[in-house]
Structure 1
């Protein structure tokens, strides 16, 4: 699995396609940080690889360990063509990562007004606050903020701030290479071990009661 992540980062379209042709390979498997192949291709701006991965069944809304979707990374690195590709394949435009940021937060932070406008027209809210109480409009300059606010109003958006809500449980985590459950939010290995002990104890007591009746 090591080489495929490298090929996606480097934009080696030929090697990626050869790898994908082996049906035993899992294109939705994540690396040590939960980055899927689509995460890396979207981050590095390799449109052709992104297009191929999506066509082959890559999960558009998969999240890495930081709850970033490929759309977060494409927006943060200002790859407009990939943003459009992901949106066409139903990427969640308002999904929040571990910091509470939506893809629009990043477009605004980097001052990319055109990309921010694209996201708003696709349904991105200008009012979602991140963990620190900042909305996307508060991440950009005055002139840009006013333009985006006007666009949002024309799209029928409310400007009332929406407080941060943890959406990590909604995300579709990439599967880890070691196939352990510990990489998935919401599943605590210690809790599972405790549950197993409780079950074993219950079985032991049941057997003891049966033996006492004999």
Structure 2
């Protein structure tokens, strides 16, 4: 190697060392100051999830780990909004990866609303993170100030069973309510498909010997049993009844309560069959446990069939056959609706299948409830046997219309009765006592006055305005014997108005005037 080559090599090495030192310096600066801001801005923006995940993975591979700011005593400052908080609302998919960067479990950071890293971990199902926080002594019942949700509420809302188990084993309460008055049991029963979660929830509480309150009510006055019935979940209803749900104070859900779950969701044909079969099973469950459904409640079940178009119509006089030998009971329909692979059906064929099965499984339900309304409709002028024969020829939709008509008639009759009762009460109300300011006794003269002794009994009335009675002659004299003087009592002591007399006649005025 020549001397010139050696000089060039030394110059190159020197430059590379200088560049390397500058690069290391810049890298340390980026790691310490830029990474947190970069991640925060990326999470808060509309950055694509895949690219954001790549960025977070890159930061993890660099070995960067967040270190909290400390106070004068060297304790971490916990009031701080981190990318973990931001990702909880916008990019929950990367929360688990961010905990590899923000892995100080002795520092449970809280944002300006009081949401902590522990809450975020419970909400997003980060089992290992939740376990480490609990090992560092985090309170398992710490609430989110804005909503009142406990970590158990958050885990149940998103069905993270492992987190639920960790919380319960570390002292989480199953009987605490949030700001809406919802208990953990409400959270489960409001979910669409959480039968297994409810079963495990009861079992976990038994394992830790914690008693779950079954009949708790939320701020709307609804119990978990009402939510389960409104969502047509027969397995949930059965489990709640087995655990001692009280039917003596049970109120059947209203139509609006039934609609709440499916108001903003398109009810596909397979879901219709699940709702219909579930509702019929629940009716049987409640009746077996001693709950007697009112006619209006039974009509509400029929209304669900009409609302979701579960009535089959005969075309061109075609006879409808009600033969359900293929299914032993309604539970078979429900099981079929839950397990069938409905994606193989077109919407047209799926709807036809669901309507046909719905008509079959509900036939006995409609027939059993049709007799009384039909007899009321014909004013009991037909024998029961004839009514039953007529009803058997009706479709489910015909039965529904009869029940609807009779119910409407009863409501109008009740309304008319209430109106008449109200008017009757107004008429028969006690009248107020009327005071007469200046009562005067009736004037009696002549022969009739003489006979008044036998026929007339007068009241004693005292009056401050004691005017002489007008009476002349013999009749007047006799009247003193036959008629007791009336004593008139009067509150109005008004002076007698003086008569006006012309000047030219004043000299002739009698003194009595």
TM-score, normalized by length of structure 1?
0.63
Check the 8 A contact 2:85/2:117 in 1, yes or no: no
Which residue number in structure 1 is paired with residue 218 of structure 2? 130
- Tell me how far apart the structure 1 counterparts of residues 141 and 179 of structure 2 sit (CA, whole Å): 15
Q: List alignment gaps of at least 5 residues for structure 1.
A: 162-214
Deviation string, structure 1 residues 152-203 (Cα, Å, up to 9, x no partner)? 13xxx76676xxxxxxxxxxxxxxxxxxxxxxxxxxxxxxxxxxxxxxxxxx
Q: List alignment gaps of at least 5 residues for structure 2.
A: 1-79, 89-94, 206-210, 250-513
Indicate which of 175, 195, 220 corresponds to 1:94.
175
| Paired residue total | 153
Which residue number in structure 1 is paired with residue 161 of structure 2? 80
Indicate which of 96, 99, 102 corresponds to 1:16.
102
Q: Does 1:147 align with 2:226?
A: no
Measured at CA, do residues 149 and 30 of structure 1 come closer, stay the same or move farther in structure 2, by a change above 3 Å? same
Query: What is the CA distance between 1:53 and its match in structure 2?
Result: 0.9
- Tell me how far apart the structure 1 counterparts of residues 163 and 101 of structure 2 sit (CA, whole Å): 20
Query: What is the CA distance between 1:4 and its match in structure 2?
Result: 6.1
Indicate which of 62, 67, 70 corresponds to 2:148.
67
Measured at CA, do residues 151 and 120 of structure 1 come closer, stay the same or move farther in structure 2, by a change above 3 Å? farther
Deviation string, structure 1 residues 5-54 (Cα, Å, up to 9, x no partner)? 3498411342232x33xx6x4x2x53222212211111111111111111
Check the 8 A contact 1:120/1:126 in 2, yes or no: no
Deviation string, structure 1 residues 98-138 (Cα, Å, up to 9, x no partner)? 11101111111113112122323413222100000111122
Larger Rg: 2
Which residue number in structure 1 is paired with residue 124 of structure 2? 44
Query: What is the CA distance between 1:83 and its match in structure 2?
Result: 0.5
Measured at CA, do residues 4 and 59 of structure 1 come closer, stay the same or move farther in structure 2, by a change above 3 Å? farther
Measured at CA, do residues 78 and 45 of structure 1 come closer, stay the same or move farther in structure 2, by a change above 3 Å? same
Check the 8 A contact 2:198/2:236 in 1, yes or no: no
Measured at CA, do residues 90 and 158 of structure 1 come closer, stay the same or move farther in structure 2, by a change above 3 Å? farther
- Tell me how far apart the structure 2 counterparts of residues 44 and 68 of structure 1 sit (CA, whole Å): 14
Check the 8 A contact 1:8/1:49 in 2, yes or no: no
Check the 8 A contact 2:85/2:111 in 1, yes or no: no
Q: Does 1:120 align with 2:207?
A: no
- Tell me how far apart the structure 1 counterparts of residues 119 and 247 of structure 2 sit (CA, whole Å): 31
Which residue number in structure 1 is paired with residue 134 of structure 2? 54
- Tell me how far apart the structure 2 counterparts of residues 96 and 160 of structure 1 sit (CA, whole Å): 24
TM-score, normalized by length of structure 2?
0.28
Q: Quick one: higher RCO (CA 8 Å, sep 6+), 1 or 2?
A: 1
